[in-house]
Amino acid sequence: MITIKHESLAEFIKNYEANADKQPEQFPDQNERVCPDCGTRYPGNRTICSIEGTVLVQPMQRLGQPLVLLEALKESELAQRYVARAYLGMGLLCSGFEGLSIETVEPVAIKVLRHELADDKKTNARFVIEAQMWQALKHRNIASVLETGLIPELVARATSEQIPWKKDIAYDRPYIVMEHLKGINLKTVLQGYGPLGCELTMRIAVNVLEGLHCAHKQEIVHRDLKPSNIFLLPDEAGRIEVKVSDFGLAARMFRQTEWTPQTTKTGSVYGDPSYLSPEYLIEQKTSARSDIYALGCIMYECISGKSPFAGQHEFHTMIRHVKDRPDALPKHLEVPELLEKTIYRAINKEPSSRFDSAEHMHAHLGTLLTGVHAG
């Protein structure tokens, strides 16, 4: 492990955490009703479907309201081990809650699969299997999953009988309990702090590579490595710990289900287009070298402040990944030639021309940091 000691960045992270606006406690009320027979939606003041003559019910979206889920968590069997205390926010896959382990009195994050996905038993089972793969990864640079499973009957009492049109609906809700990361992600750092410089970028990358190497040894590919999945956690001495989160869970889930949030759709491709490898965009195939490609793009952005394949829109960016050479790193940044070559090697369009493993790239960056040339 290469230590990251950077007092100004550590101070920025601490100040950001202290001053960050809190997430809203709940979503706006769902002021609409739905016909359980034909699915037609109506304003909240309507009571009968004009097509079927059926009594209208509240939409299933009510189950996504944070306070509804929070109260359901407090009454679930999970409450025997964890105290759910507050709503953290909603991601592409899960609603997140701050909690506390009853046994260790340590803070945890409880993530519950969003209701749009958790209405199918096959999807729920797949979520748990993927989460268990992440849970098996034990490494200081990987966010720890403490447990995962299904919470029986995690539904609101007032709505559990109001969604009868789905015959095979699953009322059990998949969840993950993970360590509560006290820091901010790299995306937020780049937006607020700005480019990180060459040495700090390499130190962060080396720590990410240690986590990737652990996963790749177990034949687990992240598939969705991006700055928002890399967390920086400072301590009182100004040292910064790096942890990789969301180990491909969302990428694998969305590739195998019809439901995709509009914000993640670009054709049938899931993921942030700034970090998607050409082989994924062309054939939707990924490997450990796809993670290396994503990290190369992240390193380029950490140094220059922009993507190596920045396009006018998402589709243009994807085309550039497949067809264009990366933009040259600006001369005024004075990026050492060996580091520049390292980044361009990582983002080579041909997987076989990249580093053959996270371990190899880790060793290469390690020697650059100590000023020794690596072949």
Cα distance between residue 74 and residue 347, in whole Å: 46
CB 231 within 8 A of CB 245: yes
Partners of 233 in the beta sheet?
241
Cα distance between residue 20 and residue 14, in whole Å: 10
Cα distance between residue 156 and residue 136, in whole Å: 32
Cα distance between residue 340 and residue 41, in whole Å: 55
Coil, strand or helix at 293: helix
User: Token digits for 293?
Assistant: 């490609």
Q: Is 356 one of the catalytic residues?
A: no
**How far is residue 223 from each of residues 33, 37, 195, 212, 277, measured CA to CA in Å?**
38, 39, 24, 11, 9
Buried b (16+ CB within 10 A) or exposed e, 14-31: beeeeeeeeeeeeeeebe
| 224, 246, 272, 291: the active-site residue | 224
Q: Which residue has the tokens 């937006």?
A: 191
In the chain the beta strands, taken as DSSP E runs, fall at 32-34, 41-43, 82-90, 94-101, 107-113, 145-151, 173-179, 184-185, 230-234, 240-244
Cα distance between residue 124 and residue 141, in whole Å: 27
Cα distance between residue 295 and residue 145, in whole Å: 23
CB 208 within 8 A of CB 197: no
Active site residues: 224
